[in-house]
Amino acid sequence: MKTALILGASRGLGLGMAKEFQARGWQVIGTERSPSDLRTLDVTVETLDITSQEQLAALRKRLDGQTIDLLFVNAAVASADAPAASVETQDFVDVMVTNVLSPMRAVETLDDLVPPTGTIAVMSSRQGSIAMNTNAGYEVYRASKSALNQLMRCYAVRRENDPRTLLLVNPGHVQTELGGPGAVRTVEEAVPPVVDTVEKRAGQGGFFFVDYNDQVVPW
């Protein structure tokens, strides 16, 4: 049985992925910051605020000796829908720490649990694509996903001969708190193709920015 560790699995896409991987026969470890619907699933629940280095280190210690076939860093927050220069400095910092620095710290803290055949995936967004930015909006969030992509690329370049599969995933626009009620697809519709893509890419190696239909997204 393969094991997936999903960071940020309390609701939205993270909860949906925990449910889907579990239904497909994976053993799932999901994290939440506080008691959530994750507890209604037949999964192992861990507590993690991804911005806490102490909590990341403690989680790593608790997982000692485990093999994590899939590490999926999903947690993120939205920003105001405003030009970057108009955002409060602390709001800018909070989005960047949560969406960029913390996922990279999580990857670097937990990656030794992932075997050579394993996958490290981080949830990105189409909004992180600089090439596809033709409409602005949610500027700090966009910049956070672009920065995340860049740092995952640095991570991949530093590990040129790493056989593991490294993925940045664009799930598409989905009805969650972050995606808003106007999004085209529900979590139930959005999650299976994301999981299909991850399962299809597993064991193949390489580093890719892909969307839920396994199409490569331009940087």
Residues that bind ligand NAP (CB under 6 A): 8, 10-14, 33, 36, 48-51, 74-77, 98, 123, 125, 171, 173-174, 176-179, 183
- Which residue, 3 or 170, is less far from ligand NAP as judged by CB? 170
C-beta of 98: minimal distance to ligand NAP in Å? Answer: 5
C-beta of 42: minimal distance to ligand NAP in Å? Answer: 18
Q: Are the C-beta atoms of 1 and 25 separated by less than 8 Å?
A: yes
- Which residue, 87 or 117, is less far from ligand NAP as judged by CB? 87
- Which residue, 3 or 79, is less far from ligand NAP as judged by CB? 79
C-beta of 132: minimal distance to ligand NAP in Å? Answer: 12
Name residues whose C-beta falls within 8 Å of residue 27's C-beta, 6 or more positions apart in sequence: 1, 2, 3, 4, 43, 44
- Which residue, 119 or 125, is less far from ligand NAP as judged by CB? 125
- Which residue, 84 or 178, is less far from ligand NAP as judged by CB? 178
- Which residue, 68 or 76, is less far from ligand NAP as judged by CB? 76
- CA-CA distance, 25 to 56, in Å (whole number)? 26
C-beta of 116: minimal distance to ligand NAP in Å? Answer: 26
Residue nearest to ligand NAP (CB): 12
C-beta of 3: minimal distance to ligand NAP in Å? Answer: 19
C-beta of 86: minimal distance to ligand NAP in Å? Answer: 21
